[in-house]
């Protein structure tokens, strides 16, 4: 059984416009009212399986320049990163270090909601920001108040209920798949293909991951790799959502 995906980041320029567009696609979009605001604004699309899409916009141009995801947004809106929930982040850090993966952290992150409730977590970067494999995710371990951190799931008019498949682009797909299986708790089930490119599939129980070999000279995805497309579980199929409304994120619902 794989670990629960935590959240997928969509980088946008205008959070309010993006929220309106995702609502037009049939998603219920929510906001968390933090008492302290940093250099970014967030909107949440929460699912029944405990995962969520985090619509993210930077509110400070200088912070954007320094942030590890800044170059991605500068190149265009769309998927920025993805993450998993891990019950023992220290143990995972040791395993990744032992296998030779580059990591940064874990670091403590937290905030207080306007009503006084708190949330905190430990965050470990294994992909962007480490100087290693940019196609890998980051990982979080909840310390306090997960229910405060993530707005409770509400029904979506389009029928979406959770993550079915994540498609990851990587210039080193075979090694990325091996490490990603360790991080996700899934199993590499064998070779396949995606968009005519070699790929590796990971079975993580309630969802699956496809890692395809992206050509650095003519990449389909982001430079360096990362989350390329997402398919959601749902009660009715939507083969491919309008990318103008998803703000560059490849997104579909499979029934």
The pLDDT value given to residue 60: 84
- What mean pLDDT, rounded, does the chain reach? 93
pLDDT, one tens digit per residue, over 33-60 is: 876 667 889 999 999 999 999 999 998 8
The pLDDT value given to residue 37: 66
The pLDDT value given to residue 248: 97
The pLDDT value given to residue 59: 87
The residues facing 125 across adjacent strands are: 104, 138
Phi, psi of 89 (to 5 degrees): -70, -25
Q: How far is CA 39 from CA 11, 150, 220, in A?
A: 13, 19, 30
- Spatial neighbors of 255 by CB under 8 A, at least 6 apart, are 159, 234, 235, 236, 237
Are 186 and 199 spatial neighbours (Cβ–Cβ below 8 Å)?
A: no
The pLDDT value given to residue 7: 97
Q: How far apart are CA 214 and CA 13, in angstroms?
A: 26
Are 106 and 123 spatial neighbours (Cβ–Cβ below 8 Å)?
A: yes
The CATH code that applies to domain 5-149 is 3.10.180.10
Query: Could you tell me the pLDDT band of residue 1, with boundaries at 50, 70 and 90?
Result: low
> How many C-beta atoms surround the C-beta of residue 193 within 10 A?
11
The pLDDT value given to residue 43: 97
Q: Is a pLDDT exceeding 90 seen at residue 162?
A: yes
Both tokens of 109, joined, read 């992150």
The pLDDT value given to residue 40: 86
Query: Could you tell me the pLDDT band of residue 92, with boundaries at 50, 70 and 90?
Result: very high
Mean local confidence (pLDDT), 16-31 = 98
Q: How far apart are CA 30 and CA 41, in angstroms?
A: 12
Query: Could you tell me the pLDDT band of residue 90, with boundaries at 50, 70 and 90?
Result: very high
Mean local confidence (pLDDT), 162-166 = 97
pLDDT, one tens digit per residue, over 183-206 is: 999 999 989 999 999 999 999 999
pLDDT, one tens digit per residue, over 101-143 is: 999 999 999 889 888 899 999 999 999 999 999 999 999 999 9
3-state secondary structure labels for all residues of 47-61:
CCCCCEEEEEEECCH
Q: How far apart are CA 229 and CA 8, in angstroms?
A: 10
Q: How far apart are CA 248 and CA 131, in angstroms?
A: 25
Architecture in CATH for domain 160-254: Roll (3.10)
Give me the helices (H) in the chain, please. Answer: 15-24, 61-66, 70-75, 89-98, 146-149, 173-184
pTM of the model: 0.95
With residue 125 as reference, give the H or E element that holds it.
strand 118-125
pLDDT, one tens digit per residue, over 221-244 is: 998 999 999 999 999 899 999 999
Residue spans in the chain of domains classed CATH 3.10.180.10? 5-149, 160-254
Buried b (16+ CB within 10 A) or exposed e, 65-93: eebbbbebbeeebbbbbbbbbbeebeebb
| 8-state DSSP, 30 | B
């Amino acid at each position: 059984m794989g670990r629960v995906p935590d959240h997928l980041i969509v980088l946008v320029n205008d959070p309010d416009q993006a929220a309106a567009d995702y609502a037009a696609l049939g998603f219920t979009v929510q906001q968390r009212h933090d008492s302290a605001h940093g250099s970014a604004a967030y909107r949440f699309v929460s699912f029944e399986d405990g995962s969520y899409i985090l619509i993210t916009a930077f509110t400070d141009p200088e912070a954007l320049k320094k942030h590890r995801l800044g170059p991605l947004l500068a190149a265009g809106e769309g998927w920025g990163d993805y993450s998993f929930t891990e019950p023992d982040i220290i143990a995972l850090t040791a395993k990744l270090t032992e296998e030779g993966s580059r990591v940064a952290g874990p670091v403590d992150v937290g905030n207080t909601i306007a009503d006084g409730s708190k949330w905190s977590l430990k965050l470990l970067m294994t992909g962007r920001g480490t100087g290693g494999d940019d196609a890998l995710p980051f990982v979080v371990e909840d310390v306090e108040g997960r229910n405060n951190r993530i707005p409770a799931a509400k029904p979506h008019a389009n029928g979406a209920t959770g993550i079915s498949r994540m498609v990851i682009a990587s210039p080193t797909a075979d090694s990325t798949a091996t490490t990603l299986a360790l991080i996700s708790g899934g199993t590499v089930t064998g070779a396949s293909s995606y968009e005519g490119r070699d790929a590796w599939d990971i079975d993580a129980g309630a969802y699956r991951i496809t890692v395809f070999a992206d050509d650095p000279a003519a990449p389909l995805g982001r430079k360096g790799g990362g989350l390329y497309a997402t398919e959601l579980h749902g009660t009715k199929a939507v083969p491919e959502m309008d990318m103008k409304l998803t703000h560059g994120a490849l997104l579909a619902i499979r029934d």
